[in-house]
Amino acid sequence: MSLKIAFTDIDGTLLNKERVPSAALKNEVARINKKDIPFILISSRMPSAMYHIQEDLNIKNTPIICYNGGLVLVDGKSIHSTEIPTSILEDIALLNTDKKFHISLYNNDDWYVENMDFWAKREENNTKVTPTIKPIEEVLSSWKNDNKGAHKVMCMGDKEALDIVMEKLSAAYPDQLHLYRSKDTYIEIANKEISKLTGIKTLLQNSYDALSLENCIAFGDNYNDIEMLKAVKMGVAVKNAKEEVLAIANDISDTNHNDGVAKAIEKHL
């Protein structure tokens, strides 16, 4: 088999009911490590929300692809970074002057919220990372001075409020923003130039130039995994994946709560 490197989504794909790697997964990752097959985490998460999973899997020395390809880290250092400019972030903030929804701003390993509301606490519980509390105007002012933007913006709140956000941002920035709505209460915003596939291509070119997409296996469950799964040699969907993801996958494994990725590693690697 020509598969020599693996890429996996995290949430909904890799973790079990306790939101941690299972014993079976740890065993399979250890087995392919001995065969020098890198196991790369690729997620919309920030770096700190991925490091503890790397530690659990004993793969701390492997690169990670964060923010759906917006930030690629090798040995803890950035080899690629694509951000949303502050001019657009200011427009997003203006949509929330009445504070009808939550905004989280992310840059590299910094996560900013205006207060520890329900949504911030929920994300903290899911990712095991605690945000910095700071008014959005202060964050954007600081970033503008430092010529920084956001690797990701998360808008969370009631469906009705987020429907308006989706409508206005889609109309205003059709070519600049990727708006991903995993559920009615979440909008994940990134620069439209990046994706999980661009992240994979960047990493291959920089760190694994002897390998190509023909040597890649990838695991996923959601809409933002489709491009990646279609492009690699072996795209594996977990059984709980969205119907559209199941339809394009080369193979379908068990659910994430039932060791789907571990079983697929055993089967294909």
pLDDT tens per residue across span 88-142: 999 999 999 999 999 999 999 999 999 999 999 999 998 999 999 999 999 999 9
- Give me the chain's average pLDDT, please: 96
Sorted by sequence, the CB contacts under 8 Å of residue 120 that are 6+ apart come out as 102, 104, 113, 131
Q: Across the strands, what pairs with 156?
A: 102, 186
* Residue 196: both structure tokens together: 């999980």
pLDDT score for 126: 87
**Residue 77 pLDDT exceeds 80:** yes
Phi-psi group of 78: left, alpha or beta (phi > 0 → left; psi -120 to 50 → alpha; rest → beta)? beta
Global pTM value: 0.94
Average pLDDT over every residue of 227-243: 98
Q: How far apart are CA 34 and CA 157, in angstroms?
A: 45
For the chain, report the end-to-end CA distance as a whole number of angstroms: 8
Residue with tokens 């600081």: 142
- pLDDT average, residue stretch 220-238: 97
Q: What is the pLDDT of residues 162-221, one digit of tens each?
A: 999 999 999 999 999 999 987 899 999 999 999 999 999 999 999 999 999 999 999 999
d(CA 239, CA 261): 10
How sure is the predictor about 1, in pLDDT bands with cuts at 50, 70 and 90? low
Domains of the chain and CATH, by start: 5-81+194-268 (3.40.50.1000), 86-191 (3.30.1240.10)
Which phi and psi (to 5°) does residue 51 adopt?
-60, -40
